Amino acid sequence: MINKKTFNIICILLLIILNIIVKSIYIDYSCIDVDEPTTILRATASLPDLISMLKFETNQPLFFIIMHFWIKWFGIGAASLRFLPMLFNSLTVVFVYLIGKKYYNVLVALGASLLFTFSNLNISHAHDARVYGLLVFFGTASMYFYFCLIDAKSKRKYAIALTITNILIAYSHLSGFFLLFLQALYTLIIPSVRKTIFKEHLFSSLVLFITYLPYIIFMLSTAITTANYMSKAVDSPDNSQLYTFFWEFSNGRENFLIFLSILLAGTIAALITWKKITLYDKMILGWAIIPYFLMFAVSIKIRFNVLRFMIFITPGFYLAIMIAANYLSRFNLKMIGLLITIICIFYMVKNTDIKFSPYNLKASEAVAAVRKHKSDSTRVYIVPQWTEHVFAYHYNSELFKDYKNLEKNLNKDHIYSILTLKDMDKLSFDKVSDVLIIDGWNGLAIVDPKKKIYNTLLNKFGTIDTVAKVRGYTVFHFGTNKLGK
């Protein structure tokens, strides 16, 4: 017979291995796209240039700095770039398990861990060379250290661990502050928590403020610009998202209805056995709910209701479901909890897509079509301008890494990013035999709804062909010049 400690270590190791397998098999299934190339380009820059670029970046600096050194060692291939976010996301399961086991039992720990493992939202952002793998890891670790701080007799090591983790959250992503707010809220409004850890949490918060203050000062000059950018880059809040985002947490609408039923039934069971409700029941349920609705409230003024920003909530959501199942097993019907846990895991796995990607676009195929059909006298337009980094990444990796001269080197190769007809009119068509437009994310229809760019080129060159139409991209050819083979 193995002892409990060995059993838990084995469970944790198996869960880590399972997460890495599930989240790495198709890690490079979708090509690098959307915001990934800009993130990579910033991380490729020298550290002084990177710091300078961060003044115009809405995200926090930690991931860029980590990726800066990662790229030096492992390059900018899709698999290597995404391996680090995948690893952080996979290691999150350690803290999901530890919370479930420490404050409940093995069934809650394993159930929540497996729901997290097969979460499409977490799989997709394990396949994303951006910060969200770090965000969910640090967020879950922070909640674990916060809970441990409350019930530990010797609080020093947990106070230090919580402080360090919360500093890392602050420097990872702005949405992490909603989690830090949640912990401050618990400390202030729950009498037993306030009595137990008020001094430690106050000290931790002061250290966090002091260490984050330099970055606040650094970003103060661009705060209005950042807020304006967010208001344009992110869609307005939609009331339907109040429940559809939970569908995404659950791998689909049907799964969410099952999970919601369990949560409601568990709540009723908890109310019947009111004296058995624990402090951690309340705090974990709050983790799953309070930041979620608070982010929607903030979105009324600043658009912040982006699904990926909420990824740090998912471990709390899965733990809350398993805690509800645990309540249902308290009526001398212990098999009910096991059965419900198996049902939840079954439906989560059933609706899991291990190829899931936040983008699933085909930029590499569109750029390959441009290379195929481009001649020395062909001009290429990238529309809209903000897809330039995506194009450059797939067009020429060496050109992409020369970030200071990126636009200049593209122009040397007769490739220009444009946003309006005026941008195109600045260029002479002397010695231009034909034109290729790579239209990304349907941007041409957005920036040129009256088709001025399209019609100007059609009038000038007389003929048009669609040489590639793939997911997210269309490549148009204007001119009678024989297409490259």
Query: Collapsing DSSP states into helix, strand and coil, what is residue 166?
Result: helix
Strands 378-383 and 464-470: unpaired
435 closest CA partner among 395, 481, 478: 478
Q: Which residues pair with 436 in a beta bridge?
A: 380, 477
pLDDT of 62: 95
* Local confidence band at 203 (pLDDT 50, 70, 90 cut-offs): very high
Dihedral angle, C-alpha 281, 283, 289, 293, nearest 10 °: 160
- Higher-confidence residue of 176 and 422: namely 176
Q: Over range 23-28, report the average pLDDT.
A: 95
- Residues contacting 404, CB < 8 A, separation 6+: 49
Q: What would the DSSP string read from start to end of 374-423? A: --TTEEEEEESGGGHHHHHHHH-HHHHH-GGGHHHHHHHTTEEE-SSHHH
pLDDT of 481: 65
437 neighbors 478 (Cβ within 8 angstroms): yes
Q: What is the pLDDT of residues 302-315, one digit of tens each?
A: 766 688 999 999 99
325 neighbors 266 (Cβ within 8 angstroms): yes
* Local confidence band at 228 (pLDDT 50, 70, 90 cut-offs): low
pLDDT of 484: 47
Does an H or E element contain 117, and which? helix 106-117
Q: What is the pLDDT of residues 57-100, one digit of tens each?
A: 778 999 999 999 999 999 999 999 999 999 999 999 999 999 99
Token output for 140: 């879950």
Query: How many Cα neighbours within 13 Å face the side chain of 249?
Result: 30
Alpha-carbon distance values, 244 to 257, 290, 358 (Å):
11, 16, 16
Q: What is the pLDDT of residues 318-347, one digit of tens each?
A: 999 999 998 887 655 667 888 999 999 999
Please give the Cα distance from 175 to 306 (Å, whole number): 10
Dihedral angle, C-alpha 328, 285, 14, 75, nearest 10 °: 160
* Local confidence band at 473 (pLDDT 50, 70, 90 cut-offs): very high
Residue 418 has pLDDT above 70, yes or no: yes
pLDDT of 447: 87
Please give the Cα distance from 5 to 99 (Å, whole number): 15
Alpha-carbon distance values, 157 to 50, 55, 149, 356 (Å):
34, 35, 9, 38
143-175 burial, b if ≥16 CB within 10 A, otherwise e? bbbbbbbbebeebeebbebbbbbbbbbbbbbbb
pLDDT of 421: 86
354 neighbors 22 (Cβ within 8 angstroms): yes
Does an H or E element contain 66, and which? helix 62-74
91 closest CA partner among 17, 27, 157, 149: 17
Q: What would the DSSP string read from start to end of 206-254? A: HHHHHHHHHHHHHHHTTHHHHHHHHHHHSPPP-TTHHHHHHHHHTTSHH
pLDDT of 304: 63
Alpha-carbon distance values, 269 to 107, 262, 328 (Å):
18, 10, 6
Please give the Cα distance from 464 to 279 (Å, whole number): 67
* Local confidence band at 275 (pLDDT 50, 70, 90 cut-offs): low
pLDDT of 302: 72
Residue whose tokens read 């409990």: 4
Residue 485 has pLDDT above 80, yes or no: no
71 neighbors 81 (Cβ within 8 angstroms): yes
322 neighbors 97 (Cβ within 8 angstroms): no
Please give the Cα distance from 316 to 99 (Å, whole number): 10
pTM of the model: 0.93
* Local confidence band at 54 (pLDDT 50, 70, 90 cut-offs): confident
Please give the Cα distance from 100 to 82 (Å, whole number): 28
Residue 217 has pLDDT above 90, yes or no: no
Please give the Cα distance from 166 to 204 (Å, whole number): 9
Please give the Cα distance from 309 to 296 (Å, whole number): 11
Sign of CA pseudo-dihedral 373, 377, 378, 384 = positive
Please give the Cα distance from 369 to 469 (Å, whole number): 10
* Local confidence band at 138 (pLDDT 50, 70, 90 cut-offs): very high
Please give the Cα distance from 184 to 169 (Å, whole number): 15
Token output for 217: 């000062």
Token output for 74: 């492992």
Query: How many Cα neighbours within 13 Å face the side chain of 225?
Result: 9
Q: What is the pLDDT of residues 376-399, one digit of tens each?
A: 999 999 999 889 999 999 999 999
Residue 224 has pLDDT above 70, yes or no: no
Residue 243 has pLDDT above 80, yes or no: yes
